[in-house]
Structure 1
Amino acid sequence: MSFRPGSRIFNTFRAYYGQPILRRRVGTTATPEQSGIAKLWNSPVGPKTVHFWAPIMKWGLVIAGASDLTRPADQLSLNTNAALMCTGLIWTRWCFVIRPKNMFLAAVNFFLFLTGATQVSRILSWQRSVKDTEGQAVEEGKVLEGELKGTAKKAEKIIKS
């Protein structure tokens, strides 16, 4: 035995150095005997993988879009909400193509599409109503202009007489 303490520690744990620290998972390790939580934990889309945490973070976009339902439509961006709607639609389809199929990711993308579509429809209906009211205002302005001209002519007659 060596008198150096570092050497003694190294020799004590030498058997562990040859083992890989993290073993790569191949396939699922879920067996029929496992409970529901154990199956989720060991599944290819479970909490040990990015397939689980990416949708968790993406729910923040859905919540932010849903919170915008309380904002007036004139303060919302059509481009941003259209992009959210398209992103949700495209990635929902993609979730059914990839392997492993990730239903959790498909659900969050579908709700992202719904949120974006709702906001886009609100913005478009608001823009349409603004155009309609502008058209009505122009017509009302022309009517008022005619009435004012008539009133001005009457006033001029009264002043002249």
Structure 2
Amino acid sequence: MSSRLGFRFLNNSRFAFRNASGPFRRSGAQGRRFQSSDAGAAEQQSTFQRLWNGPVGVKTVHFWAPMMKWALVLAGVSDFYRPPEKLSLTQNGALMATGAIWTRWCLIIKPRNVLLAAVNFFLGCVGVVQVSRIYMWQRSQQGSSVEAAKELEHETAETAKGVASQAETAVKKAAEKST
């Protein structure tokens, strides 16, 4: 008896879903199920309306935050012309880490914000370039500082020898005059 009851319930449920009105009804020639009324309206909107009214649209912070963050990318690009000894390693390291972390996070969160992911990707790239410039400059300074120290040592030794020979000649002249 219970199997018949379950079978009747299943058949009645199928019939109810097939003939239901609302989101379960098939919509005309498209034949889609579970279509909401918003989906049809989104197809009819122009590109500008979708940009304006979308979840990452112009009216939201999800659009304007990446626009403002492009200023950081442009500032980093303008620092390409500065000498590496005037750049901050910690600042550019933070930009690199921020770009890497937030690029991934922007693709996970809802609504997915590709514009923010793009600006963070470029911010990370700028950070990588600047950190590598600073690192290469520091490595070149370590090699040249050893060479510079050796050159300074030789110059100091030569100067000391010159001063010592001048002192010896002055002592000899003073000894000859006194005798």
Q: What is the TM-score normalised by the length of structure 2?
A: 0.65
Q: Name structure 1 gaps, 5 residues minimum.
A: 1-26
Change (3 A) 1:77 1:64: same
Farther off after superposition, 149-158 or 50-59: 149-158
For residues 54-105 of structure 1, what are the alpha-carbon distances to aligned partners after superposition, in whole Å with 9 as ceiling and x for unaligned? 1011111111111111111111111111111111111111001101111000
Larger Rg: 2
Does 2:65 align with 1:50? no
With over 3 angstroms needed to count, the CA separation of the structure-2 counterparts of 1:132 and 1:46, relative to structure 1, is same
SS in 2 for 1:46: coil
Instruction: Give matches, 1:129-140, under 5 Å.
Output: 129-140=140-151
- Secondary structure at 1:84 match in 2: helix
Percentage identity across aligned positions?
50
Q: 1:41 aligns with which of 48, 52, 55?
A: 52
Does the C-alpha gap of structure 1 residues 129 and 29 become closer, same or farther in structure 2, counting only changes over 3 Å? farther
Question: What are the within-5 Å matches in structure 2 for residues 116-127 of structure 1?
Answer: 116-127=127-138
Distance in 2 between the 1:128 and 1:34 partners? Answer: 57
Amino acid at match of 1:103: V
Partner of residue 24, structure 1:
none
Change in CA separation of 1:92 and 1:40 when aligned onto 2, cut-off 3 Å: same
CA drift of 1:148 comes to 4.4
User: Matched residues in 1 for 2:53 and 2:141: separation?
Assistant: 54
Tell me whether 1:70 sits opposite 2:67 in the alignment: no
Q: Deviations over 1:109-152 (max 9, x none)?
A: 00111111111111111111122111111122233344445656
Counterparts of 1:106 and 1:61 in 2: how far apart (Å)?
14
Higher helix proportion (structure 1 or 2): 2
Q: TM-score, normalised by structure 1?
A: 0.72
Runs of 4+ in 1 over 6 A off after TM superposition: 156-159
**Which residue of 2 is the match for residue 79 of structure 1?**
90
- Equivalent residue pairs, number: 135
Q: Matched residues in 2 for 1:73 and 1:67: separation?
A: 13
Following the alignment from structure 2 to structure 1, what is the Cα–Cα distance between the partners of residues 56 and 39?
10
Alpha-carbon offset, residue 156 of structure 1: 6.8
Superposed counterparts of 1:85-96, under 5 Å:
85-96=96-107
Please state whether the residue corresponding to 1:31 is helix, strand or coil: helix
